[in-house]
Structure 1
Amino acid sequence: MLANGDDAQHRLYGHRKRALFAEIDGRGGHPPTVVEIGAGTGLNARYLLPGAAWIVVEPNVHFHDHIRAEAEAHGLDLDLRVGTSENLPVADGEADAVVSTLVLCSVGDVRRSLAEARRALRPGGRFMFVEHVAAPAGSSLRRVQRLLRRPWGWVADGCRPDQDTELLIEAAGFSDVWIERFDADLGLVAPHVAGVATR
């Protein structure tokens, strides 16, 4: 079902991902090492630099064949690892960039996941994200998000529509954080952020 929604995601977020990920660079002229958490069907492969080392941490083995196919189609050097964002199977400073798109809403411990992303980055490395977030405090949408949080989570694999992911990223200890706020036409999960947090 998620794979069938990839075209819609490309239409909604493709231009932002293309702009964000174009900034990923390697060390000493080498291709970059990109760690992606929760890559799903591998739809971000098309936005990465061909030849990049793509370390994918994806706990759902049913996505792995999709990820392998995307890596081959887009010329990426795939290293597929089973793990979680709260305990990344990645060495300290191994990554030039860590990528998270529409993942943090459903991880068990967002603070721990952000700490792990920061740990995996080299000094100056960047955490790049596109995530839906809670509506502004006091808004009618925020009240609806709170009201529907539990049934939404049952339907959407643990997703929390009222999570303050933006605030958690800002408080995660990165040296610099740039965030763009935007609305997608997605009802309950319309408020979004995209940005870069530098270690």
Structure 2
Amino acid sequence: MIDATPTSAPTAFELHRGRGPFNAAFFRVMGPYLQRTLRPRKQRVFADLPARVVEIGPGVGANLPYLPPGGTLVALEPNRHMHSPLRSAAHRHGVRLELHESMAERSGLPDHSVDAVISSLVLCSVDEPAEVLAEIRRILRPGATFRFVEHVEAGHGTFTRAAQRALRRPWAWVFEGCSCERDLEQSIRAAGFETVDIERYRVHSPFLPFNTHIAGIARA
């Protein structure tokens, strides 16, 4: 079942007539490749999700296969170009969709109302990761989990780090603010969660700035 009506008004997200459709198409086309690349970590950190899950920036629905059939995805997705493929994907997977156009920094959800928040390849592009993480902690019930699979800055002095630095401006422009140079592991560890379990790993893709990653679970 799908509730196809957005439940909150758009906020400060800037819809770009070129980049928005491009990113929606890019992630539809690259979805199978990204799934093969990231599946082992997603299977670990997204295992046994509850029936109702909040996802920040679900895009075209890459993480819907990890939700239980018949479950509910509360989607915080301000890019309207993602909405149509996200609705279609929710329908295919038998997941009820509650679609919000709100930004991750201001979800509009009640305090301590959520059992799980998930994200993948999103914290790189939000304006203020610390604000997003504070919002996630605010809406999570005590003991609930934030589960994440994100790409991060490479080690200093490495070739990958040099490539991230050299390509940071065109990369950010094409991928709507995505930064290759964020130390998201430190951001998550500093966000005030009770426990944080993080695995660092590397993928091997043609997109060199994208190849350094973390996956883990933080408990409120």
Common fold, TM-score beyond 0.5?
Answer: yes
- The answer to whether the 8 Å contact 1:105/1:159 transfers is yes
Give the CA deviation at 1:155. 2.0
The partner residue of 2:215 within 181, 194, 198 is 194
Asked whether the 8 Å contact 2:49–2:66 carries over to 1, the reply is no
Aligned length in residues: 193
Deviations 1:20-73 (A, max 9, x none): 212323xxxxxx320000000011111111122210010011211211122222
Report matched runs for 1:123-134 at 5 Å: 123-134=142-153
**Which residue in the other structure is 1:96 paired with?**
115
Deviation string, structure 1 residues 118-150 (Cα, Å, up to 9, x no partner) = 111111110000000001123332233223211
CA RMSD of aligned residues (A): 1.3
The answer to whether the Cα contact below 8 Å between 1:33 and 1:94 also exists between their aligned partners in 2 is no
Contact 2:72/2:95 (<8 A) preserved? yes
- Do 1:39 and 1:58's aligned partners in 2 also have CA atoms closer than 8 Å? yes
Match of 1:120 in 2: 139
Deviates more, 1:153-162 or 1:15-24: 15-24
Deviation, 1:86, is 1.0
Counterpart of 2:33 in structure 1: which amino acid?
A
| Structure 1 Cα separation of the partners of residues 32 and 159 of structure 2 | 30
What is the aligned partner in structure 2 of residue 75 from structure 1?
94
CA contact (8 A) 1:128 1:195 kept: yes
Corresponding residue for residue 38 of structure 2 = 13
Paired residue secondary structure (1:103):
coil
Structure 1 residue 82 displacement after superposition: 0.9
Residue correspondence of structure 1 range 126-165 to structure 2 within 5 A:
126-165=145-184
The corresponding residue for 1:28 is: none
Structure 1 segments (4+ residues) deviating >6 Å: none
Q: Give the share of equivalent positions with the same residue, in percent.
A: 44
TM-score of the superposed pair, with normalisation by structure 2: 0.83
Match of 2:17 in 1: none
> Shift of residue 19 of structure 1?
2.3
Aligned residue for 2:63, secondary structure, equals: helix
Residue ranges of structure 1 left out of the alignment (5+ in a row)? 26-31
For CA contacts below 8 A with separation 6 or more, give which structure has more relative contact order: 2
Q: Equivalent residue for 1:22? A: 47
Mean Cα displacement is larger for which, 93-102 or 14-23? 14-23
SS at match of 2:188: helix
Q: Which amino acid aligns with 1:88?
A: S
In structure 2, what residue type is equivalent to 1:137? Answer: H
Q: Which amino acid aligns with 2:218?
A: A
**CA distance in structure 2 between the partners assigned to 1:59 and 1:188 by the alignment:** 25
What's the secondary structure of 1:96's corresponding residue?
strand
The one of 185, 192, 196 aligned to 2:204: 185
Contact 1:22 1:49 in 2 (8 A): no
Deviates more, 1:48-57 or 1:125-134: 48-57
